[in-house]
Amino acid sequence: MPRVIEAVREVVERLLARVRPTRITLVHPPVTFVDDAEREITVRPYEPDDFEGLVRMYETFDPTQRAQGTPPLDAEAIRGWLTGLLDGVNAVAVHEGRPVGHISFVPDGTGRHELAIFVHQEFQHAGIGTTLMAAGLGHASRTEVTYVWLSVESWKRDIQRFYARAGFSVVNPMGAAHRMSRTL
């Protein structure tokens, strides 16, 4: 009976967390956790050996989930795009040795960094994005990154709420894309 009570308690806690999302606070990687689908995930700083795994992850990324034209659709374009992302601070979410999520803070030439975050569709809605964001921001805070910004389509209210939970505020709500930012 205690197992049943504990299982019910866990389900109730997960449901309450979705109704009343908690603030995403910075953590320093590496972080290992069990996601909502019972998979062990490690979020850690990017390593050069992750490159081909990221290419494979982005090659199988659902094209309907692309944001503002990224990730590119073919392997060579993905390699070029990734090379640009890797100029900044990066972290990966890894399951069984392969990347399933990626966060990047790309310098924009003004002393600020643009955020890009992706979780493969097979691993979404399991808490990986939240931990990837927390660990990515924690990792970035230990580097030269002090100001982070991103663009998000104005109609994507759920993702805007996700970024707000991570401390981002809308700084330009005009047009098709909203600009959000935060300091570290």
Per the CB < 8 A criterion, the answer to whether 148 and 24 are in contact is no
Residue 21 has pLDDT above 70, yes or no: no
148 vs 66, higher pLDDT: 148
Residues with Cβ < 8 Å from 168, sequence gap 6 or more?
148, 150, 180, 181, 182
What is the reported pLDDT for 14?
67
With bands split at pLDDT 50, 70 and 90, how would you rate the model's confidence at 5?
confident
What's this model's pTM, rounded to 2 decimal places? 0.85
CATH class of this structure's domain 24-183: alpha beta
d(CA 112, CA 123): 29
Q: What mean pLDDT comes out for the span 35-61?
A: 96
- The residues spanned by each domain of the chain are 24-183
Per residue in 61-71, pLDDT (tens digit) is 988 877 777 78
CA-CA distance, 85 to 107, in Å (whole number)?
9
For residue 150, the cross-strand partners are 180
Contact 117, 46 (CB under 8 A): no
Q: Work out the percent of the chain whose per-residue pLDDT is above 90.
A: 70
Contact 88, 104 (CB under 8 A): yes
